[in-house]
């Protein structure tokens, strides 16, 4: 008797439409997005926002799953996977881009931008668009630029001057230009992917690294390397991109969906820049209240850091020199 009642209730539930509602929500395309920062970090929150916008604007036809914390791999490997269609979208630091687009090394030159406004004038203008377009030659489409503030040096032992850095081992991203910068400062560079930096600092394999306030805080590096030297050597933007293969998949759902992706990416970048400002202030406050030693460089000392890396500029070929000139006037 009970079984019959159960079956009758089940049929009633199906007839009143429970099952069809579920299938209505099934997307036509599910895409993957990689970020190596934690879920509550500005870039990852912006990625999540991007995914929500796309799902809403395509009426649920396209769903994007965001994988945070480097779950899909380090930046260099993620870029390759996007090229080959294993991952669809990603956000990486421009520090990793030079491996694929050597011209973008110019954006890795220390002390290139005078301040944030200067960087945004350049990236939101012609030069920024030229880079987003050039990236197409590597099999991915540049969508937008994300903020990543200014980067500073941090160490396990106190550092107050350029001389203090001498002989120290400093981690850099997988970039030869960055290695050379550290050498010019008189230290020894080591290229390690971001995910390996915490343990390298903790075990003393390296003496220091460099990054912006939010990364220094979110990664926990401030707990093992508590001396933060504000030399602001880089203003290294980050780039959000989609694979050419992924874009074809989007196009096969509907041509108009491609525009949706481009528009929502720009919108998510605006959101990231807002989040960035808030997080930068919050991270600084947390780090200072934790008791880290934060050192501001005197103008004379700052000049020493800057002069030491001048050979990086002098060694550039004529094309790069011309681009530097355009950026400086930007
Ligand atoms: C920043 C950036 C990361 C990058 C890291 C690094 O934290 O947001 O994407 O991997 O720098 O120094 O490698």
Instruction: Answer whether residue 18 shows pLDDT above 50.
Output: no
Residue of minimum CA distance from atom 13 in ligand 1: 194
Determine the Cα–Cα distance for residues 154 and 223; give it in Å rounded to an integer: 11
* Pocket-testing residue among 79, 90, 93, ligand 1, by greatest number of atoms within 8 A of Cβ: 93
State pLDDT tens for residues 256-293.
999 999 999 999 999 999 999 999 999 999 999 999 99
Instruction: Answer whether residue 235 shows pLDDT above 60.
Output: yes
33-62: average pLDDT? 98
Instruction: Answer whether residue 244 shows pLDDT above 70.
Output: yes
Determine the Cα–Cα distance for residues 82 and 31; give it in Å rounded to an integer: 11
288-303: average pLDDT? 97
15-33: average pLDDT? 70
Q: How confident is the model at residue 15 (pLDDT cuts 50, 70, 90)?
A: very low
Determine the Cα–Cα distance for residues 123 and 144; give it in Å rounded to an integer: 9
- Whether residue 276 contacts residue 149, with contact meaning beta carbons closer than 8 Å, is answered with yes
Determine the Cα–Cα distance for residues 111 and 231; give it in Å rounded to an integer: 9
State pLDDT tens for residues 64-99.
999 999 999 999 999 999 999 999 999 999 999 999
> Which atom in ligand 1 lies closest to the alpha carbon of residue 210?
12
Residue of minimum CA distance from atom 3 in ligand 1: 93
Position 1 scores a pLDDT of 47
> Which atom in ligand 1 lies closest to the alpha carbon of residue 35?
9
Position 2 scores a pLDDT of 53
HSE of 275, CA atoms in CB hemisphere, 13 A:
19
State pLDDT tens for residues 162-182.
999 999 999 999 999 999 999
Q: Which positions ≥6 away from 269 have C-beta within 8 Å?
A: 46, 143, 144, 145, 146, 240
> Which atom in ligand 1 lies closest to the alpha carbon of residue 172?
12
Position 24 scores a pLDDT of 61
State pLDDT tens for residues 117-153.
999 999 999 999 999 999 999 999 999 999 999 999 9
Ligand 1 centroid to Cα of residue 27, in Å, is 32
Residues with CB under 6 A from ligand 1: 36-37, 75, 92-93, 95, 148, 173, 194, 211, 215, 238
Ligand 1 centroid to Cα of residue 93, in Å, is 6
Cross-strand partners of 208: 155, 170
Position 210 scores a pLDDT of 98
The whole-chain average pLDDT of the chain stands at 94
What proportion of the chain, given as a percentage, has pLDDT over 90? 92
Q: How confident is the model at residue 25 (pLDDT cuts 50, 70, 90)?
A: confident
Determine the Cα–Cα distance for residues 295 and 287; give it in Å rounded to an integer: 12
Position 17 scores a pLDDT of 47
Instruction: Answer whether residue 16 shows pLDDT above 90.
Output: no
């Amino acid at each position: 008797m009970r079984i019959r009642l159960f079956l009758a209730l089940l049929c009633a539930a199906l007839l009143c439409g429970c099952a069809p509602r579920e299938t209505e929500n099934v997307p036509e395309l599910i895409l993957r997005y990689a970020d190596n920062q934690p879920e509550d970090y500005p870039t990852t929150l912006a990625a999540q926002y991007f995914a929500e916008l796309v799902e809403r604007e395509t009426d649920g036809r396209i769903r994007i799953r965001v994988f945070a914390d480097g779950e899909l791999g380090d930046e260099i490997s993620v870029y390759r996977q996007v090229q080959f269609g294993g991952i669809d979208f990603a956000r990486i630091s421009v520090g990793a881009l030079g491996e694929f687009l050597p011209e973008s090394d110019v954006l890795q030159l220390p002390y290139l931008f005078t301040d944030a406004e200067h960087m945004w004038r350049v990236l939101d203008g012609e030069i920024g668009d030229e880079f987003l377009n050039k990236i197409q030659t590597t099999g991915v489409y540049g969508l937008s630029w994300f903020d990543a503030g200014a980067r500073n040096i941090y160490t396990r032992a106190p550092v107050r001057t350029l001389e203090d850095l001498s002989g120290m081992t400093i981690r850099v991203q997988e970039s030869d230009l960055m290695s050379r910068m550290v050498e010019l400062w008189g230290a020894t560079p080591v290229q390690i992917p971001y995910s390996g930096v915490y343990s390298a600092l903790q075990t003393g394999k390296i003496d220091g690294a460099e990054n912006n306030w939010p990364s220094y805080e979110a990664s926990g590096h401030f707990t093992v390397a508590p001396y933060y030297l504000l030399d602001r050597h880089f203003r290294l933007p980050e780039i959000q991109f989609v694979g050419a293969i992924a874009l074809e998949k989007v196009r096969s759902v509907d041509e108009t969906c491609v525009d949706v992706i481009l528009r929502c990416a720009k919108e998510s970048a605006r959101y990231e820049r807002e989040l960035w400002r808030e997080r930068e202030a919050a991270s600084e406050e947390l780090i200072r209240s934790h008791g880290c030693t934060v050192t501001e460089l005197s103008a004379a000392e700052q000049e020493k850091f800057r002069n030491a890396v001048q050979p990086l500029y002098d060694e550039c070929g004529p094309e790069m020199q011309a681009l530097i000139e355009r950026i400086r006037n930007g």
